[in-house]
Amino acid sequence: MHYIKNAFAGDGIKYNEYLHPLTIGEVELPNNIILGPMAGVSDLPFRLLCREMGAGLVCMEMVSSKAITYRNKNTDAMMEIHPSERPVSLQLFGSEPEIMAEATRMIASKPYDILDINMGCPVPKVVGNGEGSALMKNPRLIEDIVRAMVSETDRPVTVKIRKGFTDASVNAVECALAAEEGGAAAVAVHGRTREQYYSGKADWSIIRDVKRAVRIPVIGNGDVVDGESAKRMMEETGCDGVMIARASEGNPWIFREVIKYLETGEHIERPSMKEIYDTVIRHADLQLKYKGEYIGIREMRKHVSWYTTGLPGSAKFRAAINTMDDMESLKKACADIFGVE
């Protein structure tokens, strides 16, 4: 069995009915709390931080299968991983089984542990191409895509779906069954429709319905913001693991907090201003290392905005950092707002 230990949640963790290792195909995750894929967010620097905080699996931002087959250089940069972040899942998007299969063949030598298929992205540009959540309109195509990819790899292939495309076409169960029939090793279910985007409340009952319908592991996603909500989702749905996405923006500590709560039922203190500052600086240094200053600082701006949300003077601070074009200026500004010398 392919087993990879997690740097934070390794020896000494107290597993129980909520917090436990999770096997997906031949890959055994050290725990069942997962960083979800987020375009423009779950890049290499951020994934490394979430891994250090205990995430049992980190998922990469989605990559176009066509871009892989075209050997796009920007896509190559997005697909870089670091050994210490494993286990890691690469998420592909596309709608043509033969191209998804070709992309799978082309990355055969890459060290990804799991390949995921995006069937939940709601943005018009993706949906308009028949990709992302648009795939939920055609469960037969879902089965064909999964089967095409499974035939080209010995890695587990998973899918991420939504409740449905619209409130009038809730078909997550049908889509999950199609994915399972195609050979999917697990399915993640976001309890909102494409029509909702990220608004309103996630419907956890659809996660429960999928769990009852399939034999493969089911990962719940939507409105998990702390240890209590993670536990409640598992209690209400029976899901095998929890995926955390937007609640981790500017908050990689959520993974250690959720793990601690599920392990002991206790809350741990939120990070101090000094720890937040140190994490922001580490995040910035990783951006600089992997992306260079020009791109790194521009991508860091949104992260710093999330890290400082709610702090006194944060609105003025965000306006100021959006004009900065060097890391030293950004770091000095962060030292000022966090009160660190």
Report the alpha-carbon distance of residue 173 to residue 47 in Å, rounded.
Answer: 30
The order of strands in the sheet holding 2-3 is 2-3, 27-29, 22-24
CA distance 261 to 23: 22
28 by DSSP, 3-state: which? strand
Catalytic choice (121, 175, 239, 334):
121
Tell me how far CA of residue 174 lies from CA of 148, 161, 180, 192, 238, in angstroms: 19, 11, 10, 16, 18
What whole-number distance in Å separates Cα of residue 124 and Cα of residue 79? 23
Please list the alpha-helical segments (H only) found in the chain: 44-52, 65-69, 73-78, 97-106, 124-127, 139-150, 172-182, 204-213, 227-237, 254-264, 273-307, 314-321, 327-338
Closest listed residue to residue 194, CA positions, set 171, 168, 175, 166: 166
- Inter-residue contact 226 to 254 (CB < 8 Å): yes
Determine the Cα–Cα distance for residues 307 and 317; give it in Å rounded to an integer.
Answer: 12
| Number of helices followed by number of strands (H, E) in the chain | 13, 12
Tokens of 26: 């031949």
Catalytic residue status for 59: no
Question: Which residues are marked as active site?
Answer: 121
